[in-house]
C-alpha cells in the first residue's frame, strides 16, 4: 500500500467494500488511472465480509439483470486476470413455491426471465430432490431451476477486483478516513482525510451504511437505514455437495447454500430489526452484533421444516451484522442532483456482491461518458431521492419492511405498509370520506381507486383481477362516456423565470417553447443523443415566465436537468412550487358541461382551444385551467393554490351531481392513457429512446433553431428508423399483463412489453413494445409479422396497432 496520500486525484472513491473496489476496477478498465480509493479501516471490513456470496442473476428489471449478469460474468473470469481466486462456483438457483400465490408468481417469472434472457425452467419434484437431497418437499407445489447462478467468496472477489484495479493504476489507502469535504461552486473539490488533504475532480461515495451521514455533510439526499441482517453456517452435513444449487424458500423467507460441506442459511424477513438510527459507529471493523435468537427463532423453525436434517446439525457460526436498506429496495447511484461530479453507489439492500460489479461499471461509465452508457438505470438513480427522505423517523419505520419485501410475493399494485401518509394532498380527507383506496408513490398518498358504499377501500392482492378491478372499470367508463374528476396534486410544478428562461428551455426541449402567452407546449427534454430525459408540458404564463408540469416522481431529476442547463450568470431562475398547487382533472365528454355550471369563462373550442391555459373562476377559486388531457378525452386540468382546493372540489362535486360525476383513481387514469396511446416516462420512453422512435415526431420542431439532440435526431431521421414503439392488444380478453412480458415476432422473441394495463373500453389487455429491424423499420414490415406475448410460460396472440387503438373521434374504430 502506498504510504503517502497524493495531493490530487482525478477520481476519489470513499469506501473499500465490494462496491468501491468494483468502481475502482472499472474506472481503470475505462482508462482512468488516477484513481484513489480511501478506506477507513480495512478493505471489506464494513458489510462485504459478511455476505453469503449468492450471485443470483434474475432481478425485477432488464437493466438490473444486465448489471447482475455483468457481475456473474466478471467473477467467473476475474481469477484469470488478477491471479487472485474469487471462489466462483456455478451452482444455479432453485426457487420453490409452497403457496398458490407463490406458485403463480413463479409461473409469471418464467416468462419474465425469458424476456431478460435468463433461463428459468420448471423442474419436477424428483429433479428437485435429486439436486437438493436434504429438502423436505412435502408442501412444495412447484420448483424452478435457474442453472446460470453462482456463489462466490465475497472477500476474495473484492480483493480480486482490488488486484485488477491496482494493476490498472489505482491507489488504495486503508486506515484512511474521510473526515470532511471542501466545496466550491456546487462541486466537491477536495477532502480532509485522516492521512492529509486530497484535491479531486470527481468523488464516488461508496461508504455503505455510512453513506447517509456523509451525504448529509455534503447536502445531498442518500436515504438509507441499516437493518440487522444475519445468517448461520453449520458444520459439514451428509447430503450436501460442492456445486449444490442455492435454494430459495421465499415463502419461508429463507435461502440456503452449501458452504464447506455444511449449509449456510440466511433470511429476508418482514419486520427486520433497524440498526442505529442516528449514526453507525465509526469504529466498525468486521463487527458482529449480539445474536438476536428470539428474532431468528421463527425463521429457524421454517429452516427446520425445509431441511429436517438441521435438527441434528451443529452450528459452526452465527453471523449477525448490519446492512444498508433503502425505502424502495433499490440502490442509490449516479450523479447527485445539485452537485457536480459527486456520484453515489450505495444502498445495496443485501445484494451488493451480486450487483457490485455492475454498479461499479455503470458509475465508471457515468464518470467517463457523462451518463451510464450501457443503459439508463432510473429505478436506482439518486435523482429519485427527495430531500425529505433523509428524515430518520421515516427511514427507521420503512427500512425494516425492505428485506421482507425482497422475498415477499410481488403482487401487482402491492403497496408499502410502513411509512405512509408522508405527503397528502389538500383533498386527502375528502377523498378518503368518499372511499378512496390510497397507494403511495414517492411519499405521495394518491387515490388509486374508489370503493363504493359498503365496500372496504383496501387491496385484496392476487395475480388475477383484484378486488378493485370492477370499480376502476366503472371509473374508466365514466371518463369515456360522462365525466370524471381525479386528484393529481402529486404532479410536480416548476416555475422558470427570467430574461434567459426561454433560451434555456429552447436548448433542452425538442418542441418550440417560444409560443404565445397562454399556450401549453407538450415536449420532451432531450439529451445529446436525442434520448428523452423528461416528458413535460411548458406553459408560457408571461413573456419571461414558464409553468412546467412533470410527474411527481421525477421532480428532483427534472429540476436538476433544467438547472444544469442554466449557464453561469444567466438570468434564469427555477423554483419548485409543487407544494403550492393542487391539481384536479375534470375529464370526459361532459366535462365542459360540468365546468360551465361553475364558471363564467367561455369554454368553447374557439375561445379555449386545446393546449391553451388561462385563469378562470370556479366557485371562489381562481385556478389556472389547462385544456390538456392525459386520458384522451375533452377535459381541463385545474391548477389551484392548495388552500383553495377543498372549496373548489366541493363546488365541482356539487355541480356534478346531476351529471353523475365520478371520482376517478390513478389505476383508471393509467388504463385510460394507455388506450389512447399516451406515452409514460420512464416505462415507454426514456433517455435511451428518441421521440422519433417513440412516435412523438410531432413534438420535435427541427426548424426552431439549435437544440440538444438535434443532430442525433436529424441523423436518425435521414438514415431512417430502425426501432419503433408500437401498441398492441392481447386477443384473448382474459390474461392481464403488467410489464416486461416477452413479445414474439414469427415465433422469435424480439422485444418486451414496456407497460401493460387492461383497457376497459376495448375489453382487452394492452401494452406497448419497441420493435427493431436493423435494415430499417416500416409499417409494412411491422404488419407483416405474426405476434404473440408470453405470459406464465404460455404464448397468446396479440394484435399490433400502428396508432392508438382508441381515439375519441373514431371511438374504437381501430380495433
Ligand X SMILES: Cc1cc2nc3c(=O)[nH]c(=O)nc-3n(C[C@H](O)[C@H](O)[C@H](O)COP(=O)(O)OP(=O)(O)OC[C@H]3O[C@@H](n4cnc5c(N)ncnc54)[C@H](O)[C@@H]3O)c2cc1C
Of 95, 250, 344, 350, which lies in the binding site for ligand X, with binding defined by CB under 6 A? 350
Of 274, 352, 510, 677, which lies in the binding site for ligand X, with binding defined by CB under 6 A? 352
Q: Which of 84, 443, 91 is nearest to 255 (CA)?
A: 91
Strand-pairing partners, residue 230, are 320
How far does CA 420 lie from the centroid of its chain?
19
Q: How far is the CB of 637 from ligand X (least distance, A)?
A: 42
Q: Which of 537, 565, 568, 533 is nearest to 550 (CA)?
A: 537
Q: Which of residues 200-229 bind ligand X (CB under 6 A)?
A: 206-210, 214, 229
Instruction: Give the C-alpha separation, 489 to 271, whole Å.
Output: 32
- When asked if residue 182 is in the footprint of ligand X (CB under 6 A), the reply is no
Closer CB to ligand X, residue 6 or residue 503?
6
- When asked if residue 112 is in the footprint of ligand X (CB under 6 A), the reply is no
Closer CB to ligand X, residue 269 or residue 558?
269
Of 14, 227, 336, 436, which lies in the binding site for ligand X, with binding defined by CB under 6 A? 14
Closer CB to ligand X, residue 18 or residue 769?
18
* x/- letters, 15..54, toward ligand X (CB under 6 A): xxxxxx-----------------xxxx---xxxx-xxxxx
- When asked if residue 348 is in the footprint of ligand X (CB under 6 A), the reply is yes
Instruction: Give the C-alpha separation, 638 to 100, whole Å.
Output: 45
Instruction: Give the C-alpha separation, 347 to 766, whole Å.
Output: 35
Q: Are 508 and 523 spatial neighbours (Cβ–Cβ below 8 Å)?
A: no
Torsion of CA 370, 371, 373, 377, to 10 degrees: 160
* x/- letters, 444..483, toward ligand X (CB under 6 A): ----------------------------------------
Cell of 508: 433542452
Instruction: Give the C-alpha separation, 650 to 641, whole Å.
Output: 15
Q: How far is the CB of 348 from ligand X (least distance, A)?
A: 3
How far does CA 202 lie from the centroid of its chain?
25
- When asked if residue 587 is in the footprint of ligand X (CB under 6 A), the reply is no
Would you call 533 exposed, middle or buried from its count of C-beta atoms within 10 A (0-12, 13-18, 19+)?
buried
Site size with ligand X, rule: CB under 6 A: 42
- When asked if residue 258 is in the footprint of ligand X (CB under 6 A), the reply is no
Closer CB to ligand X, residue 70 or residue 745?
70
Q: How far is the CB of 33 from ligand X (least distance, A)?
A: 21
Instruction: Give the C-alpha separation, 667 to 413, whole Å.
Output: 9
Of 143, 354, 502, 791, which lies in the binding site for ligand X, with binding defined by CB under 6 A? 354
Residues 6+ positions from 807 with CB-CB distance below 8 Å = 632, 676, 813, 814
Which H or E element spans position 624? strand 624-626
Of 114, 149, 156, 323, which lies in the binding site for ligand X, with binding defined by CB under 6 A? 323
Q: How far is the CB of 685 from ligand X (least distance, A)?
A: 31
Closer CB to ligand X, residue 346 or residue 594?
346
CA angle 23, 28, 30 (to 5 degrees): 95
Q: Which of residues 701-760 bind ligand X (CB under 6 A)?
A: none
C-alpha dist (Å) from residue 219 to 198, 338, 555, 564, 591: 20, 9, 18, 17, 45
Closer CB to ligand X, residue 50 or residue 244?
50
Closer CB to ligand X, residue 406 or residue 721?
406
Closer CB to ligand X, residue 209 or residue 628?
209
Q: How far is the CB of 82 from ligand X (least distance, A)?
A: 18
* x/- letters, 49..88, toward ligand X (CB under 6 A): -xxxxx----------------------------------
Instruction: Give the C-alpha separation, 188 to 123, whole Å.
Output: 53
Cell of 640: 389551484
Q: Are 94 and 34 spatial neighbours (Cβ–Cβ below 8 Å)?
A: no
Cell of 557: 431529476
Instruction: Give the C-alpha separation, 156 to 142, whole Å.
Output: 35
Q: How far is the CB of 397 from ligand X (least distance, A)?
A: 21
Torsion of CA 481, 487, 492, 493, to 10 degrees: 80
Q: How far is the CB of 151 from ligand X (least distance, A)?
A: 8
Q: Are 67 and 19 spatial neighbours (Cβ–Cβ below 8 Å)?
A: no
Closer CB to ligand X, residue 181 or residue 681?
181
* x/- letters, 261..290, toward ligand X (CB under 6 A): -----x------------------------
Q: How far is the CB of 64 from ligand X (least distance, A)?
A: 12
Closer CB to ligand X, residue 182 or residue 596?
182
Q: Which residues bind ligand X (CB under 6 A)?
A: 14-20, 38-41, 45-48, 50-54, 177-178, 206-210, 214, 229-231, 266, 319, 321, 323, 346, 348, 350-354
Amino acid at each position: 500500500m502506498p504510504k503517502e496520500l497524493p495531493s490530487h486525484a482525478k477520481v476519489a472513491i470513499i469506501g473499500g467494500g465490494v462496491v468501491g473496489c468494483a468502481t475502482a476496477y472499472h474506472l481503470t478498465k475505462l482508462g482512468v488511472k488516477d484513481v484513489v480509493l480511501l478506506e477507513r479501516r480495512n478493505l471489506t471490513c464494513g458489510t462485504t465480509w459478511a455476505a453469503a456470496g449468492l450471485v443470483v442473476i434474475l432481478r425485477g428489471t432488464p437493466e438490473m439483470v444486465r448489471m447482475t449478469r455483468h457481475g456473474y460474468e466478471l467473477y467467473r473470469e476475474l481469477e484469470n486476470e488478477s491471479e487472485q481466486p474469487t471462489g466462483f462456483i456455478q451452482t444455479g438457483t432453485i426457487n420453490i413455491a409452497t403457496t398458490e400465490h407463490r406458485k403463480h408468481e413463479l409461473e409469471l417469472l418464467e416468462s419474465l426471465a425469458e424476456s431478460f434472457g435468463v433461463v428459468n425452467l420448471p423442474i419436477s419434484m424428483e429433479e428437485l430432490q435429486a439436486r437438493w437431497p436434504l429438502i423436505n418437499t412435502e408442501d412444495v407445489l412447484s420448483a424452478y431451476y435457474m442453472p446460470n447462478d453462482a456463489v462466490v467468496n465475497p472477500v476474495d472477489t473484492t480483493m480480486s477486483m482490488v488486484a485488477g484495479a491496482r494493476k490498472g493504476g489505482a491507489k488504495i489507502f486503508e486506515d484512511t478516513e474521510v473526515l470532511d469535504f471542501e466545496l466550491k461552486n456546487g462541486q466537491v473539490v477536495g477532502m480532509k482525510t485522516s492521512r492529509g488533504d486530497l484535491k479531486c475532480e470527481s468523488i464516488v461515495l461508496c461508504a455503505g451504511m455510512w453513506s447517509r451521514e456523509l451525504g448529509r455533510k455534503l447536502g445531498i439526499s442518500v436515504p438509507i437505514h441499516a437493518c440487522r441482517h444475519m445468517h448461520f453456517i453449520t458444520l459439514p452435513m451428509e447430503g450436501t455437495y460442492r456445486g449444490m444449487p442455492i435454494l430459495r424458500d421465499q415463502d419461508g423467507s429463507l435461502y440456503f447454500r452449501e458452504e464447506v460441506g455444511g449449509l449456510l442459511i440466511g433470511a429476508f424477513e418482514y419486520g427486520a430489526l433497524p440498526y442505529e438510527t442516528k449514526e453507525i459507529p465509526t469504529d466498525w471493523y468486521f463487527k458482529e452484533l449480539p445474536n438476536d435468537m428470539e428474532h431468528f427463532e421463527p425463521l429457524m423453525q421454517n429452516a427446520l421444516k425445509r431441511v429436517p436434517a438441521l435438527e441434528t446439525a451443529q452450528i459452526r457460526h452465527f453471523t449477525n451484522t448490519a446492512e444498508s436498506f433503502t425505502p424502495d429496495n433499490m440502490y442509490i447511484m449516479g450523479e447527485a442532483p445539485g452537485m457536480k461530479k459527486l456520484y453515489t453507489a450505495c444502498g445495496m439492500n443485501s445484494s451488493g456482491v451480486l450487483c457490485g460489479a455492475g454498479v461499479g461499471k455503470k458509475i465508471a461509465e457515468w464518470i467517463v461518458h457523462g451518463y451510464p452508457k450501457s443503459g439508463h438505470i432510473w429505478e436506482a438513480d439518486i435523482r429519485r431521492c427527495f430531500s425529505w427522505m433523509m428524515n430518520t423517523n421515516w427511514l427507521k419505520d420503512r427500512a425494516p419492511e425492505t428485506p421482507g419485501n425482497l422475498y415477499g410475493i410481488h403482487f401487482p399494485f402491492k403497496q408499502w405498509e410502513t411509512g405512509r401518509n408522508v405527503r397528502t394532498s389538500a383533498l386527502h380527507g375528502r377523498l378518503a370520506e368518499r372511499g378512496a383506496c390510497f397507494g403511495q408513490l414517492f411519499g405521495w398518498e394518491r387515490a388509486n381507486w374508489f370503493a363504493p358504499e359498503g365496500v372496504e377501500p383496501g387491496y385484496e392482492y392476487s395475480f388475477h383481477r383484484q378486488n378493485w378491478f370492477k370499480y376502476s372499470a366503472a371509473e374508466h367508463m365514466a371518463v369515456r362516456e360522462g365525466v370524471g374528476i381525479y386528484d393529481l396534486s402529486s404532479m410536480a410544478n416548476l416555475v422558470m423565470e427570467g430574461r434567459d428562461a426561454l433560451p434555456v428551455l429552447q436548448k433542452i426541449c425538442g418542441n418550440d417553447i417560444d409560443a404565445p402567452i397562454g399556450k401549453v407546449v407538450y415536449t420532451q427534454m432531450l439529451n445529446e443523443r436525442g434520448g428523452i430525459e423528461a416528458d413535460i408540458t411548458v406553459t408560457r404564463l408571461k413573456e419571461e415566465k414558464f409553468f412546467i408540469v412533470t410527474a411527481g416522481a421525477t421532480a428532483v431529476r427534472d429540476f436538476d436537468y433544467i438547472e444544469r442547463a442554466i449557464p453561469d450568470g444567466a438570468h434564469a431562475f427555477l423554483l419548485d412550487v409543487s407544494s403550492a398547487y393542487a391539481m384536479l382533472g375534470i375529464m370526459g365528454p361532459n366535462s365542459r358541461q360540468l365546468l360551465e355550471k361553475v364558471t363564467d369563462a367561455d369554454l368553447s373550442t374557439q375561445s379555449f382551444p386545446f393546449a391553451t391555459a388561462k385563469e378562470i373562476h370556479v366557485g371562489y377559486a381562481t385556478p389556472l385551467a389547462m385544456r390538456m388531457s392525459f386520458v384522451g378525452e375533452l377535459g381541463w386540468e385545474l391548477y389551484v393554490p392548495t388552500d383553495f382546493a377543498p372549496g373548489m372540489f366541493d363546488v365541482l362535486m356539487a355541480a356534478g351531481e346531476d351529471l353523475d360525476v365520478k371520482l376517478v383513481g390513478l389505476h383508471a387514469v393509467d388504463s385510460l392513457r394507455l388506450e389512447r396511446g399516451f406515452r409514460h416516462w420512464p416505462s415507454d420512453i426514456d433517455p435511451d429512446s428518441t421521440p422519433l422512435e417513440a412516435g412523438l415526431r410531432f413534438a420535435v420542431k427541427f426548424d426552431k433553431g439549435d437544440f440538444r439532440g438535434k443532430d442525433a435526431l436529424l441523423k436518425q431521421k435521414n438514415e431512417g428508423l430502425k426501432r419503433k414503439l408500437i401498441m398492441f392488444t392481447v386477443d384473448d380478453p382474459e390474461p392481464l399483463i403488467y410489464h416486461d412480458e416477452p413479445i414474439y415476432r414469427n415465433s422469435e422473441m424480439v422485444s418486451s412489453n414496456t407497460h401493460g394495463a387492461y383497457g376497459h373500453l376495448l375489453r382487452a389487455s394492452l401494452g406497448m413494445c419497441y420493435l427493431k429491424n436493423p435494415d430499417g423499420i416500416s409499417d409494412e414490415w411491422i404488419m407483416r409479422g405474426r405476434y404473440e406475448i408470453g405470459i406464465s410460460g404460455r404464448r397468446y396472440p396479440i394484435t399490433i396497432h400502428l396508432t392508438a387503438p382508441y381515439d375519441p373521434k373514431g371511438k374504437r374504430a381501430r380495433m
